[in-house]
Amino acid sequence: MSDSNFPKISEWEKLYRAVLVETDRNRLTDLVGATETAIVRRRQELTKCEGTDQERDAIEVAAEEILDIKTARLGWPTINLRSNVIEPPTVIEKIKKVVSIHHWHR
């Protein structure tokens, strides 16, 4: 089977997939930064050309999950954008994160 039979995977997606499975905290921190940069770059590219809505949706999900990973796995504080108060994640928020991780892997 040739590689042309498989859809091309964007750089942001390769990095994002690596983030999902990385266990080393230092490496994870580096991957999160690289993934965020790649996501921003791809979003900029998509504003200049037609991308698929599916990719745009996937980028949105990945960006949200990266934020969750930063708080849940790397211990960064959460930010409540409505009140501008930094607060730790609740048990419900942690459960939602686990559910979203499982949803992405389906």
Query: Measured between alpha carbons, how far is 18 from 28 in angstroms, rounded to an integer?
Result: 9
Mean pLDDT: which of 3-12, 37-46, 82-91 is highest? 37-46
In a domain, 89, yes or no: no
Give a yes or no: residue 47 inside a domain.
yes
Residue 78 sits at φ, ψ, to 5 deg, of: -85, 155
Residue 102 maps to a domain: no
The pTM is what? 0.67
Query: 87 pairs with which residues across the strands?
Result: 78
Domain-located, residue 31: yes
- Cα–Cα distance for residue pair 12/4, rounded to 1 Å: 20
The answer to the question of residue 91 being in a domain is no
Residue 78 has pLDDT above 50, yes or no: yes
Tokens of 52: 């698929």
Q: How many angstroms separate the CA atoms of 78 and 41, rounded?
A: 24
Confirm whether 95 is domain-assigned.
no
Whether 85 is in a domain gets the answer no
* Max CA separation in the chain (angstroms): 54
SS3 78: strand
Asked if residue 94 belongs to a domain, the reply is no
Look at residue 106 in the predicted model and tell me its pLDDT.
47
Residue 59 sits in which domain range?
3-76
**pLDDT category, 5, cuts 50, 70, 90?**
low
Position 104 pLDDT exceeds 60: no
Provide the domain count of the chain.
1
